[in-house]
Structure 1
Amino acid sequence: MNPHAAEVAMPPVETRTLAHGVLAAVSALPTVPLVQAHLAIDLRPRTVRELAVLDVLAACWPALPACARFEQHGGVVTVTRQGRWLLLSLTGPAERLPLITRAFAAAVHARYDDAQVRTAASRAAQQAALAEAQPAAQTTRLLWQEYYGHLPAFLAPAPDPRDVLAVTVADVTAAHARTLTPRHCVAVLVGDLDHRAALDGLEEALADWTADPAARPYRYRQPPRPALRRITTRAHPGLPQSHLRLAGTSPSRRDLADFAAGQVAALVLGGAFSARINRVLREERGLAYRTTALVTDHLDGDVLVVEADVRPSATAEATDTLLRILADFADHGPTEAELRAAVGNITGKYALNVGAQSTRAALMLSFLTLGIPLDAIARFPAHVAALSREDVHRAAALHHPDRLTGIVRTDPA
């Protein structure tokens, strides 16, 4: 492939490590008079019970006066927990940048009362109940239990709603002090802004945010996996669609070229409508309602997840077909046509993402939370474009069925 076919200029980016460890990154992109802002805090949850407390904490933040004030001035506030990250995201007029930094400060210095926590717990419990009621969420839970031999807290689709309702203001206050520290935080601002002014504003707003002296830092490593790799069947009477879920190691982001090969391999397998799994299972055989393959971040490692939702009556045929697709891909890698299409897809979307405020902010946040240097923004598409069939074949070899763990969840009737 031609590495010059996907050159992406490094966008203007400036980073600064703030006084107590917050990693801040800003990028001017005055296409529209808006600012996209993200504050991401690595919660490092240790138990699923702790997730219940953290979800209530997250549900408290939208009601903070500083967030409400920002919305009154035309801004949009969202607070989510994505795996182990608590994410406060704000979008609003560029002239309201001081309100954004004040909202960040208000969140990290938040104080909680009983009424606020009860309201947030009720809301969070409803969300947890809805998530737990989804068959796909239940299957995801079973997959990671099988993959790791237990369910790591950061992979739980949702905490138990009963645990959420039991959360007290003392629980939230203690969790805030213990887990929300500047050492584990990333701030990203993109839009119609001045780099120095934005960084200075962040530094001033977060200057008083310090780590709790009682909080002990610890290394949060990817959980060990059992040596046994296997695909098991789980019966679920009445399940309207059978769930096929497989997971296995993907090339590490520590090497950008290998990481690029893993991304292309996942796209060829199941990341697009024309991908192998979708083409065969859905279009040619009519066995599947939905298929996908993607690489996901699991702490200090990367994991390929393959999913297919199929007709219960076709479960055995679909499972056998899926495993044969994976084995063939692992043995032979992509065709030249598949490689060209995947490279064009990734590099084309990448250039578009760098050029828009919201997607550039999301890209910068993704790189920083994955531990990838921001200068890789310019280097990654060139690595993708330079890939050969042999490069992607090496990544594909990791996805042989013999190296995967998974479950087939189906109605046995």
Structure 2
Amino acid sequence: MRQVAAGPRPEVAEPAPWSFPEPSRATLPNGLRVRAFDMPGQHVLSIQLGIPAPLAGEPRDLEGVALIMVRCLDLGTQRHTADEMAELLARKGIALHSAIGERGVVVQVDTISRNLPAALDLLVECLTEATFPDAEVRREVRHRLADIGQDRADPGSLASLHFIETYFDQGDRASRPAGGSRETVSRISAQDVRDYHARVMHPDGATLAVAGDLTGIPWEELLERAFRSWPSNPDHRPAPAPRGLRAAHAGRIVLVDRPGAVQTELQVGGPGPGRSDELGWGPYQVLSFAVGGAPQARIDRVLREERGYTYGIRAGFRPRSHGGLFTALGSVRGEVTVEAVEALLQILDLQGEDLTDAELNHAAGYQARTAPGRFATCEAVAGEAVSLALDELDVDFVTRTVNQVRTLQPQVAREAWDRHRGAPWTVVLVGDAQHADGIRALGRGQVDVVAQPREPSASPSRTDDAGTLA
């Protein structure tokens, strides 16, 4: 075999600067803002509609009505029954999904390009002609009640429920589940859903993102034709988003007793920034990765690799409409609960100056280099555009953030970390109460032990996805 002399290894150059796709823009006659992203080669289009309808606008005694509304949106219209609508969507290869969030409602339609007109027509039919049949609403209410029982039985969901209840002020919508409680959901009728739909589902302030291969598609003409039957309501004013006020006594530890639990689920949180922070959002993406966003991050390096307490704990900054949070969540072996909580809080008590240049530069490099991959699909692009619009931000926010990450100086990241530290942590543990004395001995403040809530034994079986948490 002939030997080939090895030449010098090629140098791996830094990737070129990357920009989020720039959309074509339009505003339809009814006021709906459109962002169209031409992504050649992606023939399954993603159409996503963001409607500002913050959960704070739900009637207090009917919380959960927004979730029931979106689950029933395609379950019957003035022209089609639920079965007929399902058949139409399946025949045309159209997927329609809807969801709620803190800031509003998102309706997503995925379709191949040649079926775009049909997909838009069915979308608008659901927006303007949904009838919310009594039987369908009752069924979805039963599903949501089953979800609530499942959430109370699952340690991770239970920790999240107790966390928002402990961290946020009781008068703030953020302190209660996005999908409503057993008490409020059980009151919801079909008429309540119709009334809520009529009040919040308007194009005023809404944004529609269309992403995919738009070559040869007269998208603006198709959108104008489809949405002409969704009229503007100049008098409509969305409710303000919840402030996310922190409770006066949020800095404490709550231990939810699960006798005999072999693992302890934990969630730790404190104040964090929103995406409009003065230092920019880039430093917080880097900090999230460096502290708790990867197996080699500080938390897992200690709790998983060095001590074997956990399979993994993830942590990071979570922006909200007003401000945000830093949270860490995961599970640890029950017998090391006290040691794991102590170690985790010691890590989270770090000062900005404790973060090394090496770990910050590694985190920044990873975040900057993987950004193109995170937005490689039309679904991801349309979803980000709608999410930003609901936060009243434009898509250039992504490009600016990635550029900031790519050129980030470690000292800026250190300043960002210190900027939001100082308040005592909110700690929620779901595990055996036998650990309570050991947790108290850590001297980390008030420790409250509460019993795990019991759900009615006659709860129906779970048949749908659980409601999201605020």
TM-score exceeds 0.5 = yes
User: Which residue identity is paired with 1:349?
Assistant: T
Pair 1:12–1:224, CA change in 2 (3 A): closer
Equivalent-residue separation in structure 2 for 1:15 and 1:345 (angstroms): 32
Residue aligning to 2:38: 28
Q: Which residue of 1 aligns with 2:89?
A: 70
The residue identity in structure 2 corresponding to 1:116 is E
Q: Does structure 1 conserve the Cα–Cα contact (< 8 Å) formed by 2:271 and 2:421? A: no
Question: What is aligned with 1:297?
Answer: 319
Matches within 5 A, 1:204-283: 204-210=225-231, 216-228=237-249, 230-238=251-259, 239-255=261-277, 257-283=279-305
Contact 1:28/1:195 (<8 A) preserved: no
Per the TM alignment, residue 111 of structure 1 is displaced from its structure 2 partner at its CA by 2.2
Q: How does 1:247-396 map to 2 (within 5 A)?
A: 247-255=269-277, 257-328=279-350, 330-396=351-417
Where does 1:27-46 land on structure 2 (aligned, <5 Å)?
27-46=37-56
Change (3 A) 1:391 1:283: same
CA distance in 1, matches of 2:276, 2:342: 34
Output the CA distance in 2 between the equivalents of 1:279 and 1:273.
Answer: 7
CA distance in 1, matches of 2:293, 2:171: 26
User: Higher mean Cα deviation, 278-287 or 146-155?
Assistant: 146-155
Q: CA shift at 1:175, angstroms?
A: 0.8
Q: 2:111 aligns with which of 85, 92, 102?
A: 92
List gaps (5 residues or longer) in structure 2.
1-13, 435-470
Over the aligned positions, Cα root-mean-square deviation in angstroms equals: 2.7
Closer, same or farther: CA 74–167 of 1 in aligned 2, 3 Å = same
- Could you tell me how far apart the structure 1 residues matched to 2:148 and 2:412 are? 42
TM-score under structure 2 length normalisation? 0.79
> 1:404 aligned to 419, 425, 440, which one?
425
From the two aligned structures, give the one with the greater helix fraction. 1
- Structure 1 residues not aligned, in runs of 5+: none
Change (3 A) 1:227 1:253: same
How far the C-alpha of 1:390 sits from its partner, in A, is: 0.7
Q: Is the CA contact 1:326–1:399 (under 8 Å) kept in the aligned structure 2? A: no
Task: State which of 217, 220, 226 in structure 2 corresponds to 1:199.
Answer: 220
**Given residue 54 of structure 1, which amino acid in structure 2 is its aligned partner?**
A
Match of 2:199? 178
Offset of residue 398 of structure 1: 4.0
Percent identity, aligned pairs only, is 22
- Which whole-Å CA distance do the structure 1 matches of 2:373 and 2:273 have between them? 25
Give 3-state SS (helix, strand or coil) of 2:136's partner.
Answer: helix
**Which stretch has the larger CA shift, 204-213 or 276-285?**
204-213
* SS of residue paired to 1:175: helix
Post-superposition CA distance 1:197-238 (Å, at most 9, x none) = 323323332233345677554433413224555131324132
C-alpha distance 291-187 of structure 1, shift in aligned 2 (>3 A): same
Q: Structure 1 residue 68: deviation in Å? A: 4.4
Distance 1:247 1:26, change over 3 A: same
CA drift of 1:280 comes to 0.8
Offset, 1:270 = 0.8
2:68 to 42, 45, 56: 56
Shift of residue 169, structure 1, vs aligned partner:
1.5
Once the two structures are TM-superposed, the CA of residue 245 in structure 1 deviates from its matched residue by: 1.7
What is aligned with 1:19? 29
Which residue identity lines up with residue 153 of structure 2 in the other structure? A
Residue 124 of structure 2 is aligned to residue 105 of structure 1: yes
Q: CA deviation at 1:179?
A: 2.1
Q: Label 1:314 to 1:36 Cα distance change in 2 as closer, same or farther (>3 A).
A: same
> How many angstroms does 1:301 deviate by?
2.1
Q: Partner amino acid for 1:119?
A: R
Aligned residues: 409
Compared with structure 1, are the counterparts of its residues 319 and 6 closer, same or farther at alpha carbon in structure 2 (3 Å cutoff)? farther
Whole-angstrom distance in 1 between the partners of 2:292 and 2:397: 25
Q: Structure 1 residues 60-69 or 107-116, which shifts more?
A: 60-69
Residue 94 of structure 1 and its aligned partner are, at CA, apart by 0.8
- Structure 2: which amino acid aligns with 1:326? L
The amino acid of 2:353's aligned partner reads: H
Q: TM-score, normalised by structure 1?
A: 0.89
User: Match of 1:61, SS?
Assistant: coil
State the distance in 2 between where 1:128 and 1:162 align: 11
Residue 176 of structure 1: CA displacement? 0.5
Q: Could you report, residue by residue, the CA deviation over 1:341-372 in whole angstroms, capped at 9, with x for unpaired residues?
A: 21122122211133322222233233223332
Indicate the structure (1 or 2) with the bigger Cα radius of gyration: 2
What one-letter code is carried by the residue in structure 2 that aligns with 1:96? N
For the Cα contact (< 8 Å) 2:65–2:193, is it kept in 1?
A: yes
Once the two structures are superposed, residues 312-368 of structure 1 have per-residue CA deviations (whole angstroms, 9 ceiling, x without a partner) of: 22121111111111122x342532221222112212221113332222223323322
